[in-house]
Amino acid sequence: MKLNKYITGGIAVMAAAMLITSCTGEFDKWNTDHNSATEEDMTHDNLNTGAFFAQMEHNVFIVGLDKGGAFQIEDMLTGGLFSGYFSNIKASYDVGALHNAHYLLPDKWVNQPFGDTYTNLMQPWLSLKINAEKAETPSVTALANVVKVLGMSRLTDMYGPIPYTRFGTGINIAYDAQEEVYKAFFTELDDAISVLTEYYTASPSSKLLANFDYVFGGDVESWIRFANTLRLRLALRVVYADAALARTEAQKSFDSTIGFLEKAAIHSNGSKYSYLNPFWKVTQSWGDMRMGATIDSYLNGYSDPRAKAFFAEAVSGGGIHGVYPGLRINNQSAYTNSTSAMNVASNSPMQWMSGAESFFLRAEAKLRWDMGEGTVQSLYESGIKASFAEEGVSGADSYIADSQRVPAEFKDNSGNRRDAAAVSTITVAWDEAAAFEEKLERIITQKYLAIFPDGQEAWSEYRRTGYPKQFAIDYNASSGVVSSDPGIRRLRFPANEYSNNADNVRAAVTLLGGADNGDTKLWWDKNPRH
């Protein structure tokens, strides 16, 4: 289909929402989010931008009273599994008994993150952008662009090439190579940080979209810190693919006059907008997933005080116990009471980014380029202390000083006896005499624990660095396509795209540089050691 429907500033917002589709011809099918703004909403003050901004926030990490299933597929059954944070214990889903946990990648599950992101994040972004430009409020556009980059960075890190820079130009949009997507991210973040910094400098006490911002309540300084930290995250992501670009963008983060995130970015849950925490829905209400073996090995091996903040003790016998990855589950009940669900309440807020992450990012930048203030050790230890504080647990000083404890052997508590030897011997205490790789493993391992439960980010960092070391899955159903070690590298392009956007998705495979399967590495996935 030709690009036959174009958007201009003169098109009314709701008309634009009707005309602009996602990348395929299935927009009408996918556009089922009941939290989006209606024409009646548009008659109210500020809703022509605020309602769309709120919709974007609600769909970065999917929240809603009825969103547990979508979140499970898009987060926990992708990055949550592939990072070792969670393991599946449900015997069978609507796609059958074999699925992402076994590297099979069913079409239905592969389709969903793609379709939902374009419908529920990119579409409201476009509507907001049109309205903000008409109102001549660049600061609002800048705020929305930060959220867009966060959400779309998660999507491109699932698939690789995605339709991005041409979104809003018509139907059946061409894909951008992932390298170009990342360069667009950096340009957008540069502009957003500049615009927001100017706004904040002129009026430090002013709020932006305060009634519609469920993360920072319109606090512009916090948004600048978040955007700056996100830029450093993405800069380090590309370090093995384009070292010069990584260093340039990282330096821009350190050059910012505002600085980095100091406290966790949290999507609130309260009277203004209420949802059921999807982690609670999946792990406790449904009981489909439990603690993974990889995070079990590190938390129990280190006697980590955060273990009980992250996970509930097993009903049978107590203790914090995980499940080996990629098991063929015949009896869910064997794992329900013997292993640990996530320790989360139905009304718990959702963490977008841990404040501790900024310290670990800075520690790696210092390690690689001697960039920024402080030492690698001081930043590393500050990251651990910040994580302990965020989780409300004590004992950070003794934990940091521990040079003896190592990741533990995995012990299957279900009675099925799927034990496994530990995959790492890394300790917590900093060793200044260690080689580069050991120092990097120490930083990434502690970042892995600090950013829990953001499985997508943990999976991306594992693919980038090879850390923390992971257990290979028990049963691989990919027929030899995906290697169990080092594991899955990406999701296949959606089957819907092959049906409705065939020419462009075939061109995207060329941009990918390999076969459209779970074994082909993304553009930034170039670490020669992994």
CA distance 256 to 241: 24
501 phi and psi angles, rounded to 5 deg: -140, 45
Does residue 182 contact residue 242 with C-beta atoms inside 8 Å? no
Does residue 24 contact residue 496 with C-beta atoms inside 8 Å? yes
Asked if residue 325 belongs to a domain, the reply is yes
Asked if residue 115 belongs to a domain, the reply is no
3-state secondary structure of 162: strand
Looking at per-residue pLDDT, the higher value among 4 and 503 belongs to 503
Does residue 89 contact residue 335 with C-beta atoms inside 8 Å? yes
Asked if residue 360 belongs to a domain, the reply is yes
Q: How many domains does the chain have?
A: 1
CATH number at residue 410: 1.25.40.390
Write the pLDDT tens digit of every residue in 471-530.
999 999 999 999 999 999 999 999 999 999 999 999 999 999 999 999 999 999 999 999
- pLDDT at residue number 26: 40
Asked if residue 347 belongs to a domain, the reply is yes
Going by pLDDT thresholds of 50, 70 and 90, the confidence category of residue 39 is very low
Going by pLDDT thresholds of 50, 70 and 90, the confidence category of residue 386 is very high
Instruction: Average the pLDDT over 262-279 and give the result.
Output: 95
Write the pLDDT tens digit of every residue in 347-375.
999 999 999 999 999 999 999 999 999 99
Looking at per-residue pLDDT, the higher value among 31 and 81 belongs to 81
Asked if residue 409 belongs to a domain, the reply is yes
Asked if residue 165 belongs to a domain, the reply is no
CA distance 420 to 422: 6
- Residues pairing with 184 in the sheet: none
DSSP 332: T
pTM over 0.85: yes
Asked if residue 262 belongs to a domain, the reply is no
Instruction: Average the pLDDT over 85-110 and give the result.
Output: 97
Residue 408 belongs to what domain range?
278-465
CA distance 66 to 407: 38
Asked if residue 157 belongs to a domain, the reply is no
- pLDDT at residue number 58: 97
- Residues pairing with 351 in the sheet: 266
Going by pLDDT thresholds of 50, 70 and 90, the confidence category of residue 417 is confident
Indicate the range of 12-21, 192-201, 282-291 predicted with least confidence: 12-21
CA distance 102 to 84: 13
CA dihedral (59, 62, 65, 67) in degrees, to 10, reads 120
